[in-house]
Amino acid sequence: MKIKKVGWTSFLISSANISVVTDPLAAVEAGTSISKTATDIAIFTDYDKTVKTSIIKDNKLDTKIVPDKREKVMEISTPGEFEVGGIMIRRDIDKDYYIIDENTLRVVYLGGTNSKFDPDTIKNVGDVDVLILPVGDGVNFMSFDTMEKVISEIDPAVLLPCAFCEDGAKENTCKSKEEFIKHFGFANVREETTLNVVKKKVDEENQQSVEVIFLQ
């Protein structure tokens, strides 16, 4: 599995057979740019429910989000379980996050969560290899205190922050990378262009701290 950032809270998650992009509409609404992305599936956390044809077409994203291996992009915006090309995508009822599984690898996407997010709703998600989490400002996204509870509960191997202050972002209350790192005291931080996700064997008696990776 590979993960690449394409804008704001949007990431392209790819396996050998299928690819998924997260919340491409959110990047546009935040006032940031999104790279042209070929994908098989697009998942949406929140959108205008008066969609006439598709979320992508109604929001003029069809020049940015284009089909990859399928004839057209499959859109997922409702609770349920969806298995496509060896990837399982799950969103439970009354939840605003997605769980994406490929074999034994698990990605939890919380990029579309807001300031009212209840960390108790994330309990019992199992072993998480990658957690995608917005850098909170307490206004549009969860606060740092809530984030701390979420990270502690999930205990991911890798944390991919998103929705931090970027050029063009309309959210003037967003936090920077530096504020985020300083608040949590993360020591294992680096930047990458692409994340290759592999299952890591962890010695519980000598467990390493979470890796924080900012995808460029």
Cβ distance 153 to 122 under 8 Å? yes
The tokens describing 158, both together, are: 């890798």
- d(CA 200, CA 207) in angstroms, rounded, equals 11
What confidence score (pLDDT) does residue 151 get? 95
Which DSSP string do the residues of 67-99 spell out, in sequence order?
ESSSSS-EEE-SSEEEEETTEEEEE-TT---EE
What confidence score (pLDDT) does residue 48 get? 78
For 44-73, the pLDDT digits (tens) are: 998 877 777 899 999 999 999 999 999 999
| Helix or strand run (H / E) with residue 38 | strand 37-39
What confidence score (pLDDT) does residue 99 get? 98
- d(CA 40, CA 52) in angstroms, rounded, equals 21
The range of the structural domain enclosing residue 150 comes to: 2-215
Mean pLDDT value across the chain = 90
Question: pLDDT band for position 213 (50/70/90)?
Answer: very high
Task: Identify which has the larger pLDDT, 20 or 207.
Answer: 20
Provide the H-helix boundaries in 66-195: 144-154, 177-184
Number of independent structural domains in the chain = 1
pLDDT at 79 over 80: yes
pLDDT at 140 over 60: yes
pLDDT at 207 over 90: no
- Please report, for the domain that includes residue 25, its CATH number: 3.60.15.10
- d(CA 14, CA 10) in angstroms, rounded, equals 13
What confidence score (pLDDT) does residue 172 get? 61
pLDDT at 203 over 50: no
For 167-189, the pLDDT digits (tens) are: 567 656 678 889 999 999 998 99
What confidence score (pLDDT) does residue 68 get? 96
Which amino acid is located at 68 in the chain?
A: D
pTM of this structure? 0.92
What confidence score (pLDDT) does residue 165 get? 83
Question: pLDDT band for position 24 (50/70/90)?
Answer: very high
What confidence score (pLDDT) does residue 97 get? 96
